Amino acid sequence: MKVARWQRLDGTIEAGFVHDGHVIPLPDGRPVDALIVAGLPTALALGRELIGADERGGWRRLDSVRLLPPVVPSSVRDFVTFEEHVEGMVRLSNPEARVSDAWYDAPTFYFTNPHTMIGTNQPVVPPRCSELDFELEVAVVIGARRECDGRNLTVERAEEQIFGYTIFNDWSARDLQAREMQVSLGPCKGKDFASTLGPWIVTADEMAARRDERGFLDVEVSVEINGERFGGDNLAHMAWTFPEMIAYASRDSRIAPGDVLASGTTARGCLAETWGRAGRVDPPALQAGDTVRIVVDGIGEVVNTVAPPRDSQVSIPAARPRIVRSA
């Protein structure tokens, strides 16, 4: 099933299921969190009930509403699990660089901003930057399971926590990112201005048949810029499975319903990887008016057009002079 959030023409925000070209709202105006916290089996049962009732008086045509990010995440962890992508990225700063040995030890991630999610067909408004980029990714949404507090999960237990899958586009201001990461901390402002999530959540049962014997998803992904194919990959090329990523995230910590965990950028899934391999910014960075379309087999597509940067930004002073302490 497909679980979504949307906005009606009158501004009302609803959540529910997408079926047969229509959206079916949850009873009593319940939010999508009600499904996620209830867990996948309960959500599927309710979806079957609402679809089977066929009471179309409450249904609305999909093209009559504006899709929103399908979940308001409680947190977002973005991993880096495609080795070929990492190879290209490390060459941005050093053409002779190779993937760090540490990358192979565990599925590394960073936390990004859960409050700046945008949906498909919403404009992406970047900060003032010269190297705007996209990132082609797929994410899982964590649901609830009984007798599980989300801590120190086994891989098998971690798989049970997956509510569903959605598309993730980690928009990136590469020039800002490169500068701030010289501090050996980050990324931060080069990333947290916008991330696309959508168009909906495809529930985990829909993707189960695509899992191979190793646990990887055989799913083709691709990206276009202004209608021209830029690149693509397959999720089976990830170095770790989603359950392995979830298990690692839960180690000495906790995952919770509503958390989003993203795969990291696929090979050929962003401009910067190509820049690293070419040794120059070619093709050019995104500009206002450019449109990026990401397609994931079995999930759908998200489309966003780049808007002009924000008109003004608050000026932040440089660090004050260091205070010399007396002996």
CA distance 95 to 113: 31
On whether residue 325 sits in a domain, the answer given is no
The alpha carbon of residue 76 and the mean position of all alpha carbons in its chain are separated, in whole angstroms, by 8
Residue by residue, pLDDT tens for the chain (327 residues) are 999 999 999 999 999 999 999 999 999 999 999 999 999 999 999 999 999 887 777 899 999 999 999 999 999 999 999 999 999 998 888 888 899 999 999 999 999 999 999 999 999 999 999 999 999 999 999 998 777 889 999 999 999 999 999 999 999 999 999 998 888 887 889 999 999 999 999 999 999 999 999 999 999 999 999 999 999 999 999 999 999 999 999 999 999 999 999 999 999 999 999 999 999 999 999 999 999 999 999 999 999 999 999 876 788 899 989 888 887
The residue to which tokens 């679980």 are assigned: 3
Residues 155 and 203 in one domain: yes
For residue 310, being part of any structural domain is answered with: no
Q: Does one domain contain both 111 and 157? A: yes
Q: What is the DSSP letter of 101?
A: G
Q: Are 26 and 16 in contact (CB under 8 A)?
A: yes
Q: Identify whether 281 is part of a domain.
A: yes
**Residues 149 and 180 placed together within one structural domain of the fold:** yes
**pLDDT for the residue numbered 186:** 79
Q: Which three-class secondary structure state does DSSP give residue 197?
A: strand
Residue 102 confidence (pLDDT): 95
The 3 state secondary structure assigned to 2-35 is: EEEEEECCCCCEEEEEEECCEEEECHHHCCHHHH
Task: State which of 21, 50, 68 marks the end of a domain.
Answer: 68
Same domain, 114 and 29: no
Token couple for 314: 């608050």
Residue 284 lies in a domain: yes
Q: Check residue 166 and give its pLDDT.
A: 98
Q: The domain spanning residue 191 has which CATH number?
A: 3.90.850.10
Q: What is the pLDDT of residue 148?
A: 83
| CA 226/CA 289 separation, integer angstroms | 9
Residue 325's pLDDT is what?
Answer: 84
Tell me, yes or no, whether 252 and 276 share the same domain: yes
Comparing CA positions, the residue from 193, 67, 189 lying closest to residue 125 is 193
pLDDT score recorded for residue 245 = 98
For residue 264, the model assigns a pLDDT of 95
Q: What is the reported pLDDT for 187?
A: 87
What are phi and psi for residue 193, nearest 5 degrees? Answer: -80, -25
Q: Residue 14: inside a domain, yes or no? A: yes
CB 124 within 8 A of CB 72: no
pLDDT in tens, 100-115: 999 999 999 999 999 9
Identify whether the C-beta of residue 93 lies closer than 8 Å to the C-beta of residue 234: no
Per-residue pLDDT reduced to its tens digit, 148-204: 889 999 999 999 999 999 999 999 999 999 998 888 887 889 999 999 999 999 999
Q: How many domains does the chain have?
A: 2
CA distance 163 to 282: 39
CB 143 within 8 A of CB 36: yes
- What residues form DSSP beta bridges with 76? 112, 260
Q: How confident is the model at residue 266, as a pLDDT?
A: 97
Looking at the fold, whether 62 and 81 belong to one and the same domain comes out as no
Domain of residue 180, residue span:
76-305
Is pTM beyond 0.85 here? yes
Separation of alpha carbons 81 and 73, rounded Å: 21
pLDDT of residue 224: 98
